[in-house]
Structure 1
Amino acid sequence: MADQATRAEVRRRTYGERDLATLHVFAGGFINFGYWRDVPLDGELTVEQRVAAQRALYDTVLDTLHVTAHDRVLEVGCGQGVGARQVLARGPRLVHGVDLVPEQVERARRNTPDANFGTGAADDLPFADDSFDRVLSVEAAQHFEDLAGFARECARVLVPGGRLAVTTFFAAPGAGPELADLLESFANGLDLPHTVEGFLADLRAAGFAEVRAESIGAHVWAGLDRWLAQGPHRDHWDRGWLRAAERGLVDYHLVTARQPAGSEG
């Protein structure tokens, strides 16, 4: 596996120098694999359906968090800020987003000026204790170098009773080498083979309660692969994801947890 400095450079080039929203695979700018449960997969997919699937992934997370107009919300790994619009639509009184890549933060500020965006690391969030009622992260944690540090920081910035929801793909234990053989993003260090079991342990160690993981890969992999199969060659994106999932090497999860002690915000 590439060393940490090399991995950081790969992520900078991928998300900083490139604007992934210009690629067919990420039409709409959400930059996630999508949640395709309500999209028919028996015919040609449209761009509108692709965008709807990406939006649905955010809505799934927000439904789990029960975001209300009274909440202060933080998105960790906010990307280009398009997902923050989905958060704002729920009417929270304050929405912040942080991302490690300065270029992404600038794009987020242009795309969604009604939210607040800044540069920050997942394991060193630039906020005071008890600053938020809800924290979410949508398809970003696979890049985080220190998931235990991320868990601790989420626990720190959440109020008692606050809720966390994270969705992304996790590797099966010991599957890193096989994933690197199948998928370039694991080979070059863009994605890390974190396990969901390890992340759940990190959350519990950070003091979270009601720590749960739900596999939602059945509504991710098939739709993603069908979309990739019909994409233009110039926007080629690795189609090894479905094969990796079918071999049990990777799966997509929704992870939720709650800060104990106190009433919810």
Structure 2
Amino acid sequence: MSDSAKNALGTFLRDRRMRLDPAVLGFQPGRRRTPGLRREEVAQRANISPTWYTWLEQGRGGAPSAHVVDRIAKGLMLTEPERDHLHILAFGHPPEPRYRQQAGITPRLQQVLDCMPFSPAIIRTATWDVVAWNKAAAVILTDYAKLPKERRNILRMMFSDERMRAVQEEWRSVARYVVGAFRADATRAGAGREIAQLVEELSASSPEFKAMWDDNEITSTREGTKRLHHPVLGTIELEFSTFAVEGRSDLNMMVYTPANAEVMEQFRALLAGAC
């Protein structure tokens, strides 16, 4: 770690330490020369040596371990973005992925979906559970509201739902693509433990899934084109793009758009009739 990086790390730690209220955290306010916690109080909360923490703020001593940095982050009550920033200051890169799925989405994020009346859009987790969707997605893709919560997993639907198999123009190539992208997303998010049961379940129930999973292919779903057999519209072509949800590392938003003006007009007519 360079001297400038050490100084930036120490400055950041000192700034966050001085923002905390000792009384709220159970320390006697007393007479303090500066606001916030004392260094030994941060060390106590992080369960590390007060001397070593002091040296860390001063840019002295050896580099901390990732485990120690996480303890300090917890002791300083850092937010997730602040924790990431602390790791970057300490090591020059973000922390290793640590998957933590949160429940639901905010009303504002749902409103973003609802403001795309002719573009099917869903919010999925890194383990490919669909947690939100708009009306266009329900009409064009799948009405997730009619599915039990545990069935709203794209991978499970791909290999366990005959309707899903039927609507895909080239199911096998799409399924292989989905498996590779699912593996990449789960690995990137550090969700290996979370997907283990699903992988075991599908491997036992679907020889096709097991073969594709054992191939260890990696793909990306950032953008592309797919063709679906819709029960009303017939065969339609859609373009899709995937977007990260700022502040929610466990979520991605997938937006599908009609590939041409003809499909757009079909969407408009169908969705108008579904009102």
Identify the TM-score tier after normalising by the shorter chain. Answer: under 0.3
Q: Which has the larger radius of gyration?
A: 2
TM-score, length basis structure 1: 0.25
Higher relative contact order (CA 8 A, sep 6+): 1
